[in-house]
Amino acid sequence: MFDPTIYENLKVVIEGAVYDLDLEGQIVVTHRSDLIDLAVMSRCYIIRYRLKDSRSTAEIRLSAGLVDLAGEKMEWKNALPGCKLDVVFSLPLRNPESACRNIQDILQQLWETNPTIVQTLSYRYGDDGSRCLNEIGVHFDRKIGEGQIEDIPDLLEHTLRTLRQLEPYNLEE
């Protein structure tokens, strides 16, 4: 009989919880992908969504590499299989110098578990940089497993709260 991996179980729970929010009308799912990289034998699941009437997005990225998958399937005695989970927020903004400081403070308050928060700004060559795209990565420094499945609704609630807090910084065109 087929025994799903930690990655597959987490992916199903995350996907179901996100689509439940979409069906309730709280969010709109805008993208999803489930990738297998045969060169390094890894898997990555990405689902992106936004609040209704908003351009800011949240993206959940779940990934597992060869060592995690093999350690779990082969039941290696010292293996600590699990998945990497990252959340990435994306929004167009104006005046990045002041906005990014405020955004950093907001995210550090909202994400109490002290993940690493990295903001990456990009703009088109030739523009003055006063308008740009801000990708805000919330990176957790540990793997997750099936023991954290019950935390998924809280994680999604945090992403919704973050999207609401980021909305005033969203560049209106």
CA distance 100 to 77: 45
pLDDT, position 106: 93
pLDDT tens digit string along 26-82?
A: 999 999 999 999 999 999 999 999 999 888 999 999 999 888 877 776 677 777 889
User: pTM for this one?
Assistant: 0.91
Percent above pLDDT 90 for the chain? 66
When mean pLDDT is compared across 85-89, 94-98, 145-149, the lowest value belongs to 94-98
In the three-class reduction of DSSP (H, G, I as helix; E, B as strand; rest coil), residue 28 is classed as strand
Kindly state the average pLDDT of the residues 154-162.
96
Averaged confidence pLDDT in the chain: 90
pLDDT, position 151: 93
CA dihedral (92, 94, 96, 101) in degrees, to 10, reads -90
> Residue 100 pLDDT > 70, yes or no?
yes
Which of 94-103, 131-140, 164-173 reaches the highest mean pLDDT? Answer: 131-140
Helix axes 152-166, 96-110, angle to 10 degrees: 150
pLDDT, position 1: 45
pLDDT, position 172: 58
Count of alpha carbons within 13 Å of 48, Cβ hemisphere only? 12
CA dihedral (47, 51, 55, 59) in degrees, to 10, reads -20
CB 85 within 8 A of CB 13: no
The one-letter code for the residue type at 150 is E
Percent above pLDDT 70 for the chain? 96
DSSP one-letter code for 144: B
pLDDT, position 81: 84
